[in-house]
Structure 1
Amino acid sequence: MSLREDAVLVLKGYPGQEELRALYLDHLAAHPDGMWKSCGDGHLTASALVVDPSRGRVLLTLHRKLRRWLQMGGHCEPSDDTLERAALREAAEESGIAGLTLLPGGPARLDRHHTPCAWHLDVQYAALAPAGALEAISDESLDLRWFPYDEVAAVADASVVRLLEATRARL
């Protein structure tokens, strides 16, 4: 199964956000390259909010290019065979944390936003940090920091806040 086929299955099985979910599926139907950064009309991306529920906190990255506090995530790569693995790979690369696991049940949210390269049709997951996790900043970040749940709204945009709310509801 290709990454594109996996994305279609994930989206068809995702409950909620019907209008946005339909937009993602329509995009993939109209763009055979809709999974890749090279698709100038937009492309699917995969991200994961790294959470430490035992300490009531989330790990956010200060994105080097966008200069905003965000969850870990980014473009799919040819080596990714599922959206889940793409999200987990991005989260591990950008957080430096080994042993992350995704919350079961598929994506936590969908979020469409414009970036300097194109529209991102982001499929957002939640990743659990293992006990004693040690983060390490990546080249894609200016900073990497744990924030208590109640401080996220003060530093991040509404998209990240909605992802945190969806994640906490699933915890």
Structure 2
Amino acid sequence: MTKELSKLEQQIQKFMPFNEQEEHDKAILLKWFESGSDILTRENEIAHLTASAWVVSPDKKSVLMAYHNIYHSWAWLGGHADGDADLHHVAQKEVMEESGLTHVKFLLDEPFSIEILSVDGHMKKGHYVSTHLHLNVTYLMEADPKDAVQNRPEENSAVAWIRVDQIAEKSTEPWFVEHVYAKLCEKMQVKFRGRLSDLKFSEKGLK
């Protein structure tokens, strides 16, 4: 195991789960680390590491999202490790590549969230990609909505700031809204208590 991969494993070991989902997914993620399998590259067609970014505005009321070509939905930013065990760096790189931002700052150096995500089979660049798992680590970042953004045609068709209370209506992925985006917003509520008191999550979505 490389030094960077070992460091990432230690960060996951120290990670404090926010809910039952994170508790279960942390245990599964650590089992993958212990398995000795190559989880750093897409050569492992069953499961591999990815890094996502929850990029918020300074007032914490908007999130930077992209309309992804594969999923046909507004979604968070992120991508594959592709051999780089420094997922902190991967997350930052993916944000800049997918949004065109030239400046983004981390609000936390350690992982903000972890998820084991199922990816349905799909076509990419003319080739079929079988259903697999993303062993995902999410980082919390902040950027200025005044900074220019632009889409990356090979990945997405639009990039925009979306208010927290509009995520549910923008995303066409109900599972993500309920189990990922809602959780991230709740964690934001806890971390920035009082700053987001007017934006609540309900059974009907974020409102």
TM-score (norm 2): 0.74
Match for residue 158 of structure 2 among 128, 131, 143: 143
- Describe the superposition over 1:31-77 as per-residue Cα deviations: whole angstroms up to 9, x where unpaired: 43112222122111101011103372111111111112111001013
**Which amino acid is the alignment partner of residue 5 of structure 1?**
S
Q: Which residue of 2 aligns with 1:6?
A: 7
Aligned residues: 170
Match for residue 59 of structure 1 among 60, 64, 71: 64
TM-score (norm 1): 0.88
CA distance in 2, matches of 1:63, 1:131: 20
Paired residues for 1:53-92 under 5 Å = 53-54=58-59, 56-78=61-83, 80-92=84-96
Q: Which residue of 2 aligns with 1:44?
A: 49
1:58·1:148 contact (CA, 8 Å) conserved in 2? Answer: yes
- Cα deviation for residue 141 of structure 1 reads 0.4
**Identity fraction in percent:** 24
CA distance in 2, matches of 1:129, 1:146: 10
Q: Which residue of 2 aligns with 1:102?
A: 106
Paired residues for 1:17-36 under 5 Å = 17-36=22-41
Residues 1:145 and 1:132: Cα distance change in structure 2 (over 3 Å) = closer
Q: CA RMSD in A?
A: 1.9
**Which amino acid is the alignment partner of residue 93 of structure 2?**
R
Question: Which protein has the larger Cα radius of gyration, Structure 1 or Structure 2?
Answer: 2
- Cα deviation for residue 12 of structure 1 reads 0.9
Which shows bigger deviation, 140-149 or 123-132? 123-132
Residues 1:56 and 1:65: Cα distance change in structure 2 (over 3 Å) = same
Query: Per the alignment, in what secondary structure is the counterpart of residue 185 of structure 2?
Result: helix
1:48·1:73 contact (CA, 8 Å) conserved in 2? Answer: yes
Greater RCO structure (CA 8 Å; 6+ sep): 1
- Cα deviation for residue 4 of structure 1 reads 2.0
